[in-house]
Amino acid sequence: MQKTMQQKVLLQGNEACVKGALLAGCRFYAGYPITPATEIMEIMARELPKTGGVFIQMEDEIASLGAVIGASLAGAKSMTATSGPGFSLMQEHIGFACMAEVPCVIVDVMRAGPSTGLPTQPSQGDVMQARWGAHGDHPIIALAPSSVYEFLELTVQAFNLSERYRTPVIVLADEVVAHMREGVVLPAKGDIEVEERPQPTVPPEWYIPYDDPGTGVPPMSPFGDGYRYHVTGLYHDVRGYPTTRKDEVEPLIQRLFSKISCDFDRLQWFDSFYTEDAQITVIAYGCVARASLRAVKEAREKGLKVGLIKLKILWPFIRHTITKALENSQTVLVPEMNMGQISHEVKRVNQSRCEVVTLNKMDGTLITPLEILKKLEEVHP
């Protein structure tokens, strides 16, 4: 058997996102241009038709996600990309996709805000919006790449998780990761694991669209394939029709959460560095995790016992992993380009296990390795 040659190329983060989406089988993109995510849309407009897919520019971000949801219901793996202001406009449709269990991927390349903020500058200010932007109780999955290759890899995983759990999945990149260029070894198509949504195994007349098959994830047939079901954002029964009955409403919401929480152990996505003997553990994500790793290495050279946990998934929050870090450290440092969003989650699970220190920056500039190193030297015992 002839071995597939791997190709190394220079890629921008946003370009890597597109390559990941196409590898995952994305065949529909609807969007509206917005800095710093516009390149995703531009490249999709050029590349998606080559695969037999469909690209459409919509009039705004609300319509964009509406079109994505419609295409997904028709059976196409679908995505859109935006930044903070557009992400805000998408929240109602994200809630709809959660309730109707429609797989889709939303890439949010974060920039400084609120409002128009600093359109060309990086931020990590949409972390809590990703979790709680849509009203009501709902589960959500949000991934956070810290390199160009991870942007490709986690975009593939976003599609896989979306299809596996029938839910919207958010990729929270920041402007630095989206616009920097790195050498990337492209995976061959056969080297990428691609998941598909569960399909019905019963005849159309037996199909109950929201019945739990035991996994928490009902099979999903594309519109037009003969399997009829009702789609609504209202609380609904197993056939999709609106209901206010307690014995139907509560099991629905419990199932929406449990289909993800039951797989919690499969979603502990992180990388750890030098944590075995760390007295101080840095918890970071996105571009700040890159700066943190450099700072940790320099601290180690100075004899400081410092480690790093790099989060690759932000929601659901990997509290079991973080709890172990809190138990084994004297101090935890959480650097973020916001007022402290993930640090609130760290403090929530801390329960006085150790001291939690923050390093925050909101001016649209990257937290540098030197700034992180200086903070580590200040708090090291």
Q: 239 or 1: which carries more pLDDT confidence?
A: 239
Q: Which residue has the higher pLDDT, 27 or 223?
A: 27
Q: Is 87 exposed, middle or buried (0-12, 13-18, 19+ CB in 10 A)?
A: buried
Q: Would residue 69 count as lying in a domain?
A: yes
Task: Give yes or no for residue 2 having a pLDDT over 60.
Answer: no
Tokens, residue 380: 């090291």
Considering the domain boundaries, does residue 99 fall inside one?
yes
224 assigned to some structural domain:
no
* Number of helices and strands in the chain (H, E): 13, 15
Q: What is the pLDDT of residue 1?
A: 38
DSSP states of 367-378:
PPHHHHHHHHHH
**What pLDDT does 191 receive?**
87
* 66-85: average pLDDT: 98
User: Residue 31: pLDDT above 90?
Assistant: yes
**pTM for this one?**
0.96
pLDDT in tens, 323-344: 999 999 999 999 999 999 999 9
Residue 186 sits in the same domain as residue 278: no
From CA 275, how far away is CA 277, in angstroms rounded? 6
pLDDT tens, 179-206?
999 999 998 878 889 999 999 999 999 9
Whole-angstrom distance, CA of residue 344 vs CA of residue 339: 10
End-to-end CA separation in angstroms for the chain: 57
Q: Answer yes or no: are the C-beta atoms of 272 and 310 closer than 8 Å.
A: yes
User: Of 147, 171, 191, which residue constitutes the final position of a domain?
Assistant: 191
Residue 206 lies in a domain: no
Which CATH number covers residue 66?
Answer: 3.40.50.970
Residue 240 lies in a domain: no
**Residue 332 maps to which CATH number?**
3.40.50.920
What would the mean pLDDT of 156-180 be, rounded to a whole number? 98
Distance CA 75, CA 72 (A): 5
Looking at residue 67, its pLDDT comes to: 98
Domain assignment of residue 342, yes or no: yes
Q: Residue 308 — pLDDT band, cuts 50, 70, 90?
A: very high
- In this structure, what is the dihedral angle of CA atoms 302, 305, 310, 315, given to the nearest 10 degrees? -140
For 86-105, the pLDDT digits (tens) are 999 999 999 999 999 999 99
Rounded distance between C-alpha atoms, residue 286 and residue 125, angstroms: 12
Which range marks the domain in which residue 333 is found? 272-379
What local confidence, expressed as pLDDT, does residue 4 receive?
Answer: 52
Decide if 299 is inside a domain.
yes
Quickly count: other Cβ atoms within 10 Å of residue 342's Cβ: 24
Which pLDDT tens digit goes with each residue over 240-277? Answer: 999 999 999 999 999 999 999 999 999 999 999 999 99
Q: How many domains does the chain have?
A: 2
Among candidate residues 150, 169, 191, the one where a domain is terminated:
191
- Domain end: 137, 156, 191, which one? 191
In this structure, the strands spanning 78-82 and 280-285 are unpaired
